[in-house]
A and B are shown apart, each in its own frame.
Chain A
Amino acid sequence: MRFPILFILISLTSAVSVAAAEKPLKRLDVTPKTVSLSGPRGGVQLLVSGIHANGHARDLTRDCQFKVTGPARIENGYVVPTGNGSGSIVVSIGSMRQTIPFKVERFDRPLPISFRWEALAVLTKQGCNSGSCHGKPNGRGSLELSLNAFDPRLDERSLIRGAFVRFTHPVEPAESLLLKKPTLRVPHGGGKRLRKDRESYAILKQWIAEGCRPEQRDGPQCVKVEVTPNDGRVIRLGPASENQAADAAQQQVRVTAHFSDGSIRDVTRIATFSVSNDSVATVDANGLVTGLDRGQTAVVVRYLDDIVSVYLTVVRDISGFVWVKPAENGYVDQLVHAKLRQLQYLPSGNCDDATFIRRLSLDVRGLLPSMEETEEFLADKKTDKRRRLIDRFLDSREFARFWGLRLADLLRINRETLSEERAADYSRWVFETVEQNMRYDQFVRELLTATGKTADVQAANFFRTTNETKMVAETVAQLFMGSRLKCAQCHNHPYESWTQDNYYQIASVFHGIDRKQLEVPKGAKKRKPNQREVGMFIGMTAGRGMSNPRTGVPQKPWPIDVERKPNQDRRTAFVEWLTAPNNPFFSRVAVNRIWAHLLGRGLVEPIDDFRSSNPAVNVELLDALAADFQKSGFDRKHIMRVILNSRTYQRSSDTNQFNETDENLLSHARVRLLTAEQLQDAVFRLCDGPQRFAEFEHELAAADKLLATTLKENQEDQDAAAVVKSKQQRDAARARLNSYYMTQQPYPQLTSFLSAFGQPPRKTACACERREEANLDQALQLMNSGLIRDRVGRAADRFGKLPNEQFIRELYLAAVSRRPSDAERKTISDYLKAGADRGKAFEDVIWAIINTNEFMFQH
């Protein structure tokens, strides 16, 4: 297993100054300090950094002078040997200089080319084994390669012995198809991929000339790949400075591979480079990064199976920008502001109270605030009123129901798989864990190690919605590790360091899950439950790990370095690993989900796609939230409270000149369409009034009470006629309550309205199921659907008897949580007066309000 530096802590000073470029250089820093070169292919990339007085580093590799004494030459800092012997390189800029000694060995008798560590690396770098070329299943043409060389044995077979040994020609290497095709000496569907004057060509040719030697099975393995610089370096765009040309806003990257025999090789020229955000920077084949625009990007370096990312920030001076320190409330704001200041975005101000209560209510409870709540809040003069409102909403039942819905989405709770009864039990358990604010590690432990009858142990239903081993593994990885592991089922993950073996190691944890269908009880029950209702017994059997189908080797369950007794439940150690404080995923994924729900976008986005090549927009903030989450005892409400009380959450969506182009650094609130369930509920709540739901709640409470009394009167006889009757009443009351608001029930029916607005069908654990892109269907639903038509009719009943002035005021308070402006009052009042049919005019007004941006959007 490899966890590369997935989460690098970038040291960040709050006083980043753009004027740093003008500060004088303090010293030179050259990497490596000594150079040893082996054979003619043993080039080494030097990295020259200038360290300024304020500690900032900048790349001077192309700006300094090199003077070589001895058998080597140097070009842009890349040292190439020219013979055996030793010498030195003097690096100088201005008055500063440093001497790097070097030696060259084996120049006359180089080591043979390594098939895997050189030839396959070259093929990967040239893109030959990418998913759209020979790396796709069955290859392309007659050449099949493994995706990014994850299966060297397959590549060996294909290249050395494939297609009747046509690809290579050791007697006349240059006549090999492997070289003629990509140089276009014969037609090649993939176009020109190699140039004769490049190192890649030389390596392949040499490998063929040496007789196409396969990799030694017991040869040294690459154990670590290191990329420098990895100090969160900043590239400054801008006017020329003392030591740097104006167009030199560049950074050289250097890659070394560490092998099991202790050797270290410079692989800069055969590693593969890409950037995660190509509007911020580009990177060339030799690892030279060029900054384009302010922002952040990961530079992703692949060397065969290893993927390592380093993060770079590009900054640029914005003319007229002056940082005005905004108010801060806690570490969230500090870290957001540090980033904004560094990248020169000016945050928007605080949102007003009306916007705040609507935003908070929708995010926390899923529902619009009631008119009374809004008025009370607007009238409150105390300074801590926002904090108090946050606490009140977080403690409401609506909160638990709404966040229960979100969990139920991800756990795919549905009545089709589980039956009505089991789905209800399971979702009630989820609801209770939210309501009691169960520690999140505890929640996950109960879920993943659930054992017992699904009718008794609700969490065990998890293993029914995920009904086979691989599905469990992929779901667990996606939900709790933020990893889309599915790719690794058939080949090593193309964008991260999960290997195919890792996939089957995680799957092995759940391989022994035993799902035993329970017998439908025989007897004289009036209504026989069906199999789904009776449910299953979920247990764990001992057993072997799952084999990687490619190698046939059974895999140890993850984590593989833990000794387990044969009869031990393999899930226990896995959950221990998952929820351990140093787990790189668990807390970050959890807080990122919370963040995304509250702010409309994850710090890592997509929220379940954590990998080093997809960095968070604010790594420090994600780390700080994760650390706080652990410290608080995995307290989800605590994290919500921290976020909701921050200025960042409470920011206005209105932009200023210095942040209107910002999309994701949190300088202003994100305007977003209400979710499907929120929107339907908002329409219902506006048109029917909030008391309808309160009445249902009241009815259910009364029915529950009645049932309890009846049971007592009948000595707990479940089958007594009176008990059966009150039970039916209770169920009917519950059904009425549960079917009214969509945000308040764990598994809403799929309807055309909800579906148009992106309600997830709960087929997979992917957060991408909930689609948010605007489409025409949505607009038509809001304008012309039966649902809107019906509700608008009802709203005319609710408001129709009010005098115009009061109607307008209440309508605005109920719909958009604010009082109407004078202009709005006049517009609507005029409209009501002009219409001959007052009822119709009311409908028109309500229809228009529902179709305003302000109603449909959270802002």
Chain B
Amino acid sequence: MFSILDHQQSLCDGITRRQALRVGSIGLGGLSLPRVLQAAESRGSDAAHPVRAKSVILFWLTGGVPQHDTWDPKPEGPSPSRSEFGTIATRTPGLNVGALMPRTAQLTDRIAVIRSMHTGDNSHSSSGYQMLTGIPHIPLSRENALPGAPNDWPSVGALLRTQRQDRDGLPAAITLPRHIANVGEKLWPGQDGGFLGRKFDPWLLTCDPSTPNFQIPDLSLPKDVSQLRLDRRLSLLKQVNGELDHLERHAAAGKFDLRTQQAISLLTGQRARNAFDLSQETPAMRERYGKSKFAQSVLLARRLVEAGTSLVQVNWQRIEGKENHGSWDTHLKHHESLKGWLMPIMDRSYSALIEDLEERGLLDETLIAWVGEFGHTPKINARAGRDHWGSAFSIALAGGGIKGGIVHGATDAQAGQVVSDRVAPSDYVATVLHCMGIRPETIIYDTQSRPLPLSRGQILDSLVV
């Protein structure tokens, strides 16, 4: 039995190596270069197919997707594989899903379900690495696999950062509201820039958007430095900097100056900070997504996507005091956890996002992915829980570039093995890239200058428009 979340961990603190790497009091680790400076040029779209999605919002269900109770219910299956909650009909004729997702069920005409995901890996961190990067972890099923190997593959967000530029100081890939780690804050691999280097790390923003006066501390000035005082400082800096102006003619100093301008615009400018200002949303809208940290992070993700961010990954929150630390790793009291908090939060925020984007006319250009590192066992364990299962599980894609009302692949009678159209994580990654108008075979270079394709997966043609 393995539990991935550490209940002693409070939500937005804890100094770990990773966090130290990332933030400091400013916390813009990996926040990278503005559009005009970005070294990687945009490859634009592939003429072969139209660009559909401009952005991706990734729901990351840390602990695993319970396929039996969501996308792949087996009402006719042997009893342990049957969901206690039964199934409900959906908007799509012939498609039934778990009964705990009534709102989502009404939106299936926008959703493509993949029932035949397979990682062949039963450990959180290594299977997670595979789902986050599209590349199997070597070795498979290594629990507490750590990041930092020089040949780590970049996360999907990092891959996107090589192809999409930052906008208004906001990096092209952002992760909310915390990183993914096993007990003891053992960070998973596959969440960073990997062999591309730190420059491509998605910007990890550890925060709690559900707090009443939510602000990004990283972009706020300290209490004793008012806007006015900062302006005075900057004007003084300008005067004293003038003395050795020949330095600016040198490439290194010139580049740094541009970064400084960028930092100033983040600290003093409004555009990027507006994106983070959840108070601009009506109370009704905030209510619609749900009040939890996860749900409010999803709402924040929508604002970031509107501001031009290419990929926002929203990682599942921890819920203190709940079984399995409130994660989807339901070794304990599986059904109680699903009904009590997991599915209500997920169903509400997921459906709210789809509807909200649709109302704003953004659904066609926003790809929404519902994924986790694996599924759950067809059997119920002695503690009324379901354990790790990488042999077969479900994910769902919706919105930009995706055909709705589709089911891809199938599993056996207990949703334990894939029986048709097996999908590898690399195929899912290739499909996401394709929906973004990026050819999966686009070449990137590792630190040894070896040419490597973004993904070697096959695009799932039946899913894409």
Contact = CB atoms under 8 A, between A and B. Distances in A.
A484 B246 CA distance: 37
Interface string A764-775: 101010010111
B24 interface: yes
Contact of B237 (A750, A763, A774, A848): A848
B236 interface: yes
Nearest to B236: A848
B448 A781 contact: no
B256 A844 contact: no
Given A775-B199, A783-B267, A844-B233, A756 B260 contact: no
Interface in B218-266: 218, 221-222, 224, 229, 232-233, 236-237, 239-241, 243-244, 246-253, 255-260, 262-264, 266
Nearest to B17: A750
Interface string A164-184: 000000000000000000000
A755 B29 contact: yes
A653 B150 CA distance: 36
Interface stretch (B30-38, B114-122, B422-430): B30-38
Say which size band chain B's interface belongs to. 35 or more
Interface in B1-37: 17, 20-34
Contacts of A828: 236, 240
A844 B236 contact: yes
B285 interface: no
B269 interface: no
Contacts of B243: 821, 823-824, 854
Interface string B128-150: 00000000000000000000111
Interface string A823-859: 1100110010000000010001101110111101101
A750 B266 CA distance: 25
Given A779-B262, A848-B240, A484 B150 contact: no
A671 B236 contact: no
Contacts of B252: 670-673, 774, 857
How big is the A interface, by class? 35 or more
B443 interface: yes
B198 interface: yes
Contacts of A840: 224, 229
B240 A655 contact: no
A751 interface: yes
A753 B22 CA distance: 9
Which of B222, B233, B249, B263 has its CB near the most chain A CB atoms (within 10 A)? B263
B197 interface: yes
B150 A763 contact: yes
Q: Which of B32, B148, B237, B252 has the most CB of A within 10 A?
A: B252
Given A132-B451, A853-B241, A653 B21 contact: no
Contact of B266 (A653, A751, A776, A824): A776
A46 B258 CA distance: 53
A776 B263 contact: yes
A778 B266 CA distance: 13
Given A752-B23, A823-B243, A854-B243, A774 B259 contact: yes
A467 to B, nearest CB: 14
A780 B263 contact: yes
A486 B24 contact: no
B33 A671 contact: no
B378 interface: no
B26 A780 contact: yes
A29 interface: no
Given A763-B148, A776-B28, A776-B31, A131 B450 contact: yes
Contacts of B246: 653-655
A777 interface: yes
Interface in A623-665: 653-655, 660, 663
B42 interface: no
A785 interface: yes
Contacts of B224: 840
Contacts of A789: 25, 222
Interface in B68-107: none
A558 B58 CA distance: 51
A854 B148 contact: no
Contact of A831 (B198, B236, B247, B253): B236
A827 B235 CA distance: 11
8 contacts: A670-B252, A671-B247, A774-B258, A776-B33, A777-B26, A783-B260, A828-B240, A852-B244
Interface of B: 17, 20-34, 148-150, 169, 197-199, 218, 221-222, 224, 229, 232-233, 236-237, 239-241, 243-244, 246-253, 255-260, 262-264, 266-267, 443, 447-448, 450-451
What 7 A-B pairs come out closest when comparing CB atoms? A752-B24, A779-B263, A786-B25, A671-B250, A779-B259, A848-B237, A774-B255
